[in-house]
């Protein structure tokens, strides 16, 4: 092939650049549209959806939807049921996450009475949740719903006399999830080959990465607090979801998935809230959304976010017990989109910091020094 002449060089390089951009765009589009094969049993989404939505139906039956939704928040620990290991390991794991759920929700409700402590308490909760999930190498959702419970509790408007009943409802939901996890684990152990119980030891960078994740998640919350946005915890939750990618490319793809999924999910939420659903309609809607989420979450994250977005809005808004007007839910929709964008940007920045080789060395030195002091 002959060397391009002086006159054709600009055209040659422009063509080469366009070809490279086309290949890059094609590769990114392929990653965005790829639907993975599920690695979980087909009945896991059904069990999870039934467990989480059952308290909502109980609340609807007694005419107290907000109480049922608080209990369903505690029941979300069923999603942390391990699919490997012997029965004691599986149950201890679920009970540990159930305790964490109840503790974080209780601390959030107590600390909201002292507003200046909200951000420090959230940072402590975030660090504990992240390091627990990373040490035990928990698969998604890991501590997502525990963090969401603690964050919602910090900002949900509850009078002082309603704090203890709300704590009890979350604990009841967690207890129900433990019972369902026991029954489901017995079924799995009886119908599937027994897998070895995982063994864990401290992995390098666990402490340092946990500090980074908790720090950036808290930063996302701080930004929304400074901007005085409603429901500021959505930014922190979005940041937590984005920053935990294994590779920067994974983080980037998850960010695009979350932004596009949130936009579509907000449209779906706006339509459903405009319907003025009855309490039974809300209960059935939550059941259907949970089934869709659990069927899609390990296949295509972006599709799952389309249903995660309205589900979390339903939990926060109907769980507060306050009436939802036309103006109120439009405000919620707009704030949620803005909060998600902030959380994604902060999460991407945190992922860059976490995966930076220049920063990893000093962080690892500090971690080694700290661990040596406590040996």
The reported pTM is 0.81
- Number of Cβ within 10 Å of residue 362's Cβ equals 10
- Selected residue with higher pLDDT from 296 and 220: 220
Say whether pLDDT at 9 is over 60: no
Q: pLDDT tens for residues 64-84? A: 888 899 899 999 999 888 888
Q: Is residue 176 part of a domain?
A: yes
Q: Supply the range of the domain harboring residue 151.
A: 41-192+205-373
Q: pLDDT tens for residues 165-176? A: 989 999 999 999
Lowest mean pLDDT among 99-113, 117-131, 145-159: 145-159
- Number of Cβ within 10 Å of residue 329's Cβ equals 17
Q: Is residue 7 part of a domain?
A: no
- H-helix or E-strand containing 115? none
Q: What is the mean pLDDT of the chain?
A: 80
Q: How many domains does the chain have?
A: 1
- Which parts of 136-277 fold into alpha helices (H)? 144-155, 163-191, 206-226, 233-243, 248-274
Rounded CA-CA distance 87/195 in Å is: 11
Q: Give percent above pLDDT 90 in the chain.
A: 23
HSE-CB at 234 with a 13 A cutoff on CA atoms is 27
Q: Is residue 357 part of a domain?
A: yes
Q: pLDDT tens for residues 275-323? A: 878 889 889 999 998 898 888 877 776 777 788 888 888 887 777 666 5
Give the pair of three-digit tokens for residue 201.
């030891």
Q: pLDDT tens for residues 15-27? A: 655 555 555 445 5
Q: Is residue 67 part of a domain?
A: yes
Rounded CA-CA distance 248/259 in Å is: 16
Q: Is residue 8 part of a domain?
A: no
Burial class (CB in 10 A: 0-12, 13-18, 19+), 9: exposed
Q: Is residue 5 part of a domain?
A: no
Per-residue exposure over 182-210, b if at least 16 CB sit within 10 Å of its own CB, e if not? bebbeebeeeeeeeeeeeeeeeeebbbbb
Give the C-alpha distances (Å, rounded to integers) separating 335 from 228, 302, 331, 338. Answer: 11, 20, 6, 5
Q: Which of 38, 35, 180, 177 is nearest to 96 (CA)?
A: 177
Rounded CA-CA distance 101/74 in Å is: 6
Q: Is residue 24 part of a domain?
A: no
């Amino acid at each position: 092939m002959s060397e391009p002449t002086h006159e054709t060089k600009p055209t040659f390089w422009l063509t080469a650049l366009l070809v490279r951009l086309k290949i890059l765009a094609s590769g990114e589009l392929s990653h965005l549209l790829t639907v993975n094969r599920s690695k979980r049993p087909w009945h896991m989404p059904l069990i999870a959806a039934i467990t989480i939505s059952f308290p909502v139906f109980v609340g609807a039956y007694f005419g107290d939807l907000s109480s049922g939704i608080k209990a369903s928040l505690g029941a979300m620990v069923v999603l942390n049921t391990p699919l490997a290991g012997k029965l004691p390991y599986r149950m201890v794991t679920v009970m540990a996450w159930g305790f964490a759920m109840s503790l974080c929700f209780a601390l959030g409700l107590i600390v909201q009475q002292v507003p200046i402590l909200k951000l420090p308490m959230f940072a402590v909760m975030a660090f504990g949740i992240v390091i627990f999930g990373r040490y035990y190498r928990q698969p998604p959702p890991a501590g997502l719903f525990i963090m969401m419970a603690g964050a919602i509790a910090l900002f949900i408007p509850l009078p002082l006399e309603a704090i203890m009943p709300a704590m009890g409802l979350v604990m009841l939901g967690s207890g129900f999830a433990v019972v369902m996890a026991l029954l489901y684990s017995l079924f799995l152990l009886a119908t599937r080959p027994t897998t070895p119980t995982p063994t864990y030891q401290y992995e390098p960078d666990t402490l340092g990465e946990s500090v980074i994740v908790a720090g950036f998640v808290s930063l996302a919350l701080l930004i929304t607090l400074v901007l005085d946005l409603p429901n500021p915890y959505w930014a922190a939750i979005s940041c937590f979801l984005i920053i935990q990618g294994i590779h920067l490319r994974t983080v980037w793809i998850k960010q695009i998935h979350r932004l596009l999924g949130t936009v579509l999910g907000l449209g779906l939420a706006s339509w459903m809230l405009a319907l003025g659903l009855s309490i039974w309609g809300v209960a059935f809607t939550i059941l259907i959304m949970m089934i869709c989420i659990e069927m899609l979450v390990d296949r295509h994250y972006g599709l799952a976010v389309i249903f995660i977005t309205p589900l979390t809005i339903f939990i926060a808004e109907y769980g507060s017990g306050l009436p939802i007007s036309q103006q109120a839910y439009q405000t919620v929709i707009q704030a949620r989109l803005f909060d998600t964008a902030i959380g994604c940007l902060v999460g991407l920045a945190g992922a860059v910091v976490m995966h930076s080789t220049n920063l990893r060395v000093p962080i690892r030195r500090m971690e080694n020094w700290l661990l040596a002091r406590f040996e």
